[in-house]
Amino acid sequence: MAVQRAKEFLLGKDRGAVGEDTLAMLDDEVGRLVLAYPREPLSAIWGDLLASQEQVFRLLEGGRLKSSQLRDLSYKGAVLSFLVAKGFNDMQEPHQAMTMTRVAASCARDAEHPGLIALTDGLKSLIAYWADKPNDAYHYAGQGASMASPLRGTAGLWLLGLQARAAAALGDEQTVRRVSQQATDRREHVVLDDLDELGGLFTYPLAKQRYYDVEAQALLGLGGAQLGALAEEAVEAFSDPRSADWAFGDLAGAQCDLAMVRMNSGDVDGAAEAIRPVLDLPVTHRNNGIIVSALRVRQALVQRPAITGPIARDLRQEIEAFPANRSALPSG
């Protein structure tokens, strides 16, 4: 309570003009929330995330700002609104998520930050992808990839990954291979930028790129030993929570993809083994993307009626119960 009161005092003190201490305080808070988002359940940070966004909006609306402060606060507003939008998507609220993404895009334009503008197109693509709107997902990813094409950081690679996943959901294998190869070639020329330094959801490490590559191939219904090995490597890349790239959602997604690849290969026992850690996740961690990923494994099983036996039956039933066992996420 003492720290919260001190923050309120500093913000209140700067109602006439924004001081450097306030900007530094917000820098610290934005940095903390960016790094916490992929690692902690949404319920642990949602209140702080909304409070920080409100503080930035209040300063943008009411303070006497220098042009540099306006850009700085707009940048912070874009980053925080991006995280809030992702939170709404994790809560299975795609309409609210898309609205908040448009707020993030507006702030990014005010900040004159092409990378952030491109990332908001990526977030629109991600929202559409998890809402089972692959055409929209492909459109937004392509739009963002065009914006990011002159940039040297990893934002453009993420957009290509999103584009490949959406193409896979549409069954367009040729586009998946073309776009994935573009991303592979471009990785060799990456120069990390300010968004990569920010980290969290704003960078796209090699481990995540490999996870996206596997997911695109799994969605195409592909399997086999070679893809299975790549899927295992994708899981292994997220196995150490001490790694800067670790994210519980990416680990769960990679585990579901491994299960899909094994299912595509007719290995129901291996699929059950791969998805077991996901089904054992605490209810606080069962966000929208994880639930949809798990349900895809069940769908792959249902589409193979020849796969029978107690393991297949139990797996179908357990995945079916998985969303219902999730506790309520924080209210927006």
The pLDDT value given to residue 222: 97
**In contact, 191 and 153? CB cutoff 8 Å:** yes
**In contact, 19 and 59? CB cutoff 8 Å:** no
The pLDDT value given to residue 146: 97
**In contact, 251 and 235? CB cutoff 8 Å:** yes
Average pLDDT, integer, range 133-142: 99
C-alpha–C-alpha distance, residues 234 and 147, integer Å: 28
The pLDDT value given to residue 2: 40
270-318: pLDDT as tens digits: 999 999 999 999 999 999 999 999 999 999 988 876 677 888 889 999 9
52 closest CA partner among 28, 30, 20: 30
**In contact, 62 and 15? CB cutoff 8 Å:** yes
Three-class SS state of 64:
strand
C-alpha–C-alpha distance, residues 144 and 156, integer Å: 8
Our CA angle for 24, 28, 30, nearest 5°, is 110
37-69: pLDDT as tens digits: 999 999 999 999 999 999 999 999 986 789 999
Three-class SS state of 17:
strand
Out of 2-16, 30-44, 68-82, 293-307, least confident range? 2-16
pTM score of the predicted model: 0.93
53 contact partners, CB below 8 Å, separation of at least 6: 77, 80, 81, 84
Q: Phi and psi at residue 64, in whole multiples of 5°?
A: -90, 110
DSSP 150: T
Our CA angle for 158, 161, 167, nearest 5°, is 145
Three-class SS state of 87:
helix
196-209: pLDDT as tens digits: 999 999 999 999 99
Token duo for residue 150:
């002159």
Token duo for residue 289:
């993307």
| Residue 1: pLDDT over 50 | no
**In contact, 169 and 161? CB cutoff 8 Å:** no
The pLDDT value given to residue 240: 97
229-275: pLDDT as tens digits: 999 999 999 999 999 999 999 999 999 999 999 999 999 999 999 99
Task: Say if residue 242 is exposed, middle or buried (CB neighbours under 10 Å; 0-12, 13-18, 19+).
Answer: exposed
